[in-house]
Amino acid sequence: MGDSDNRAGANRDPENPDTGQRMSRFGERARSALANVGQDDRFKQAAAVTKDAAGRAEEASKSVSRKVTQEDSWDELRNDVELLTEIARAHHALINDLIDRVASLENREGIEPGARNDR
């Protein structure tokens, strides 16, 4: 058994010589069907549906990426707001401390707290 055993006609029935011809015709019909599959309306419809589904999947992927990016942006914004709030609280505490120190100094000098000295 050589390389010719792998061909379609290798399984010929020695008692029926038409078997090899039928196998050959079957192979030709199969090749013809594969060549013509692009012209089949069902194939075209299936290809169109597949292309549409792939397009929708791509848009969904972009949407998910955009949502993740927006979520990240919101998280960063929240962190920035929290940081600014802490800074404002610290400034408020410093201002209150300065007001208390000025009032203490004014009391030492006998100046009424908050009074202006218009000389």
- pLDDT tens-digit series, residues 29-67: 777 766 666 566 777 777 788 888 888 888 888 887 777
User: How high is the pLDDT of residue 84?
Assistant: 94
Structure tokens at 45: 């419809």
Q: Is residue 101 within 8 Å of 95, Cβ to Cβ?
A: no
The percentage of the chain sitting over the pLDDT mark of 90, rounded to a whole number, equals: 26
Does residue 79 register a pLDDT over 50? Answer: yes
| Total residues found in the chain within this entry | 119
Highest mean pLDDT among 31-35, 99-103, 110-114: 99-103
Please state, in angstroms and rounded to a whole number, the distance separating the CA atoms of residues 12 and 25.
13
- CA end-to-end span of the chain: 125
User: How high is the pLDDT of residue 78?
Assistant: 95
Backbone angles phi, psi at 118, to 5 degrees: -90, 90
Structure tokens at 64: 């998910």
